[in-house]
Amino acid sequence: MTPQIQTTTEAVDQVFLLIFGISVVMLLGIAAVMVYFAVRYHHRRHPQPTSQVSSNLWLEITWTVLPTLIVLAMFYYGWAGYLALRNVPEGAMEVKAVARMWSWVFEYENGRASDRLYVPVGRPVKVHLVSEDVLHSFYVPAFRIKRDMVPGMDNYVWFVAPEAGSYHVFCAEYCGTGHADMITRVEALPEGEFIAWLARVEDEGAGGEDLLRRHGCLGCHSLDGAQMAGPTFKGLYGREKRVLSEGRERTLIVDAEYLRRSILQPKADVVVGYPPIMPDYEGRLSEEDLEAMVEFLRTLQ
Ligand SMILES: [Cu+2]
């Protein structure tokens, strides 16, 4: 029942055009006939009812059977299109998409991680959808795919990028303050370039900025002073901050110790004016990574 399709875009577009086409024909057809009848049988032209017809078997059969066939056809093609979206072609590359408030991280089988979804052109990609906290939704309009990401529930989508290019990825399920910032890209690269990109696994001493990106920090904290869901990282080190610690406001100077604590247990000292919504990173970072991140934050003057 699954037709041989090349891309998810084709699968969805064909069904969409079919249903949209039928709807347009019905709308125009019914409206035209209605207007025609209203004029043709206007009561001024026919003050008295003249027709004595009480029923017409063939007419009734026609207007029952025809719409039934049309609706069944729409169902058939819709179902076939849906199956095409659920049946991943063989040989698809597998990637894990992790969504959290409010950023994306894509993890590859060889350990590479990125905040953009890099894929090879022309090859099917199966994306495993994982949410770390609340409901999100993985939405790539260019490939006509959109699927909810429910915490604790395994799900997936697949697509194939027909041409090299950059395609938008949105979160399509309202997930809080930074929801509108949950935008990233699918970067479709020619096979050779993609393989080269994938092989560039970050070595031990990955840069602090890479780490911030990979752990999703930059979804809420800017590097250039821009206002986002959390305080900017720019010029943070050495600055005085008003924070809320166990319900009491106090002033502290941002130093390495404070930065470490704020990454591992962000709710210990929350900067005044920001909601206590950052997830804990306790137990999720290696000591070297933590050091590299703090070191990088120090340099952002
Ligand atoms: Cu979201």
- For residue 135, report the distance from its CA to the centre of ligand 1, in Å: 7
- For residue 100, report the distance from its CA to the centre of ligand 1, in Å: 7
- For residue 240, report the distance from its CA to the centre of ligand 1, in Å: 32
Helix (H) or strand (E) holding 210: helix 208-214
- For residue 150, report the distance from its CA to the centre of ligand 1, in Å: 10
Joined together, the tokens standing for residue 200 give 């560039």
- For residue 211, report the distance from its CA to the centre of ligand 1, in Å: 21
Q: Give the predicted TM-score (pTM) of the model.
A: 0.74
Domain boundaries, the chain: 8-86, 93-199, 208-299
CATH architecture of 93-199: Sandwich (2.60)
- For residue 13, report the distance from its CA to the centre of ligand 1, in Å: 26
Closest to 262 measured CA to CA, from 235, 293, 288, 222: 293
Closest to 151 measured CA to CA, from 133, 128, 167, 169: 133
- For residue 168, report the distance from its CA to the centre of ligand 1, in Å: 14
DSSP-assigned beta bridge partners for residue 155: 129
- For residue 67, report the distance from its CA to the centre of ligand 1, in Å: 40
- For residue 25, report the distance from its CA to the centre of ligand 1, in Å: 38
Pick one of 1.10.3720.10, 1.10.760.10, 3.40.1410.10, 3.40.50.2300 as the CATH number of 208-299. 1.10.760.10
Helix (H) or strand (E) holding 38: helix 8-40
Which residue type sits at 156? Y
- For residue 185, report the distance from its CA to the centre of ligand 1, in Å: 14
Pick one of 3.30.1360, 1.10.3470, 1.10.287, 3.10.620 as the CATH number of 8-86. 1.10.287
Q: How far is CA 215 from the centre of its chain?
A: 18
- For residue 72, report the distance from its CA to the centre of ligand 1, in Å: 36
| 301 residues of the chain, pLDDT tens digit each | 444 457 899 889 999 999 999 999 999 999 999 999 999 888 888 888 777 888 899 999 999 999 999 999 999 999 998 999 999 998 899 999 999 888 898 999 887 888 899 999 989 999 999 998 899 999 999 999 999 999 999 999 999 999 999 999 999 999 988 898 889 999 999 999 999 988 876 554 457 787 887 787 887 888 888 888 888 888 888 888 888 888 888 888 888 888 888 888 888 888 888 888 787 888 778 888 888 888 888 888 7
- For residue 148, report the distance from its CA to the centre of ligand 1, in Å: 10
3-state secondary structure of 176: coil
- For residue 53, report the distance from its CA to the centre of ligand 1, in Å: 61
